[in-house]
Copies of this chain bind each other. A is one copy, B any other.
Amino acid sequence: MMIYLDNAATSFPKPETVIAGMQDCMYRYCANPGRGGHSMSLESGRAVFEAREALSCLFNISDPTRLCFTKNATEALNIAIKGVLNEGDHVITTSMEHNSVLRPLKTVQRDMGIELSFMSSNEYGETFPDTLLKNIKPNTRLIISTISSNVNGIVMPVREFGKIAREKGILFLVDAAQGAGTLEIDVEEMYMDMMAFPGHKGLLGPQGTGGLYVREGISIRPIMQGGTGSSSEYVYQPNMMPDLLESGTLNTPGIIGLKHGIGFICSFGIQNIKVYKHLLVKKMHEELEECSGLKIYSRSDIDKNTGIFAFNIEGIDSSEVSYILDKEYGVASRAGLHCAPMAHETLGTVKSGLVRLSTGCFNTVDDIEKAIYAVKEILNNRR
Interface string of A27-43 (1 = CB under 8 A from B): 10011100111111100
Q: How far is the CB of A318 from chain B (nearest CB, A)?
A: 11
A98 to B75 alpha-carbon distance, docked (Å): 23
Q: How far is the CB of A125 from chain B (nearest CB, A)?
A: 17
Interface string of A1-13 (1 = CB under 8 A from B): 0101010011011
Q: Is the beta-carbon distance between A227 and B335 smaller than 8 angstroms?
A: no
Interface string of A73-88 (1 = CB under 8 A from B): 1110110000000000
Contacts A78-B223, A207-B253, A227-B74 given; indicate if A333 touches B107 (C-beta within 8 A). no
Find residues 28-80 in chain A having any chain B CB closer than 8 Å to their own CB: 30-32, 35-41, 70-75, 77-78
Q: Is the beta-carbon distance between B19 and A26 smaller than 8 angstroms?
A: yes
A226 at the interface (CB under 8 A from B): yes
Chain copies in the assembly?
Answer: 2
Interface string of A82-116 (1 = CB under 8 A from B): 00000000000000001110111011001000000
Q: Is the beta-carbon distance between A333 and B2 smaller than 8 angstroms?
A: no
Partner of A31, one of B322, B332, B336, B340: B332
A14 to B72 alpha-carbon distance, docked (Å): 24
CB nearest neighbor in B for A79? B224
Q: Is the beta-carbon distance between B206 and A26 smaller than 8 angstroms?
A: yes
A223 to B226 alpha-carbon distance, docked (Å): 14
Q: How far is the CB of A232 from chain B (nearest CB, A)?
A: 4
A338 to B36 alpha-carbon distance, docked (Å): 8
Contacts A41-B6, A100-B247, A206-B26 given; indicate if A36 touches B226 (C-beta within 8 A). no
Q: Is the beta-carbon distance between A110 and B339 smaller than 8 angstroms?
A: no
- Interface band, chain A: 35 or more
Q: Is the beta-carbon distance between A26 and B38 smaller than 8 angstroms?
A: no
A239 at the interface (CB under 8 A from B): no
Contacts of A19 in B (CB 8 A): 23, 26-27
Contacts A225-B107, A233-B337, A235-B103 given; indicate if A2 touches B38 (C-beta within 8 A). yes
Name, among A23, A37, A198, A226, the residue most crowded by chain B CB atoms within 10 Å (CB to CB): A226
Contacts of A102 in B (CB 8 A): 235
Q: Is the beta-carbon distance between A75 and B207 smaller than 8 angstroms?
A: no
Partner of A38, one of B75, B107, B326: B326
A341 at the interface (CB under 8 A from B): yes
A236 at the interface (CB under 8 A from B): yes
A254 to B102 alpha-carbon distance, docked (Å): 27
Q: Is the beta-carbon distance between A252 and B208 smaller than 8 angstroms?
A: yes
Which residues of A are interface residues toward B (Cβ below 8 A)? 2, 4, 6, 9-10, 12-14, 18-19, 22-23, 26-27, 30-32, 35-41, 70-75, 77-78, 98-100, 102-104, 106-107, 110, 198, 200, 206-210, 223-229, 232-237, 247-254, 319, 322-323, 325-326, 331-342, 350
Could you pull out 23 A-B pairs where Cβ atoms are within 8 angstroms?
A6-B38, A9-B32, A9-B35, A10-B31, A10-B249, A12-B30, A12-B40, A35-B334, A36-B322, A41-B334, A72-B249, A75-B247, A78-B247, A99-B226, A99-B227, A100-B248, A107-B236, A206-B254, A208-B253, A226-B339, A232-B337, A233-B350, A253-B254
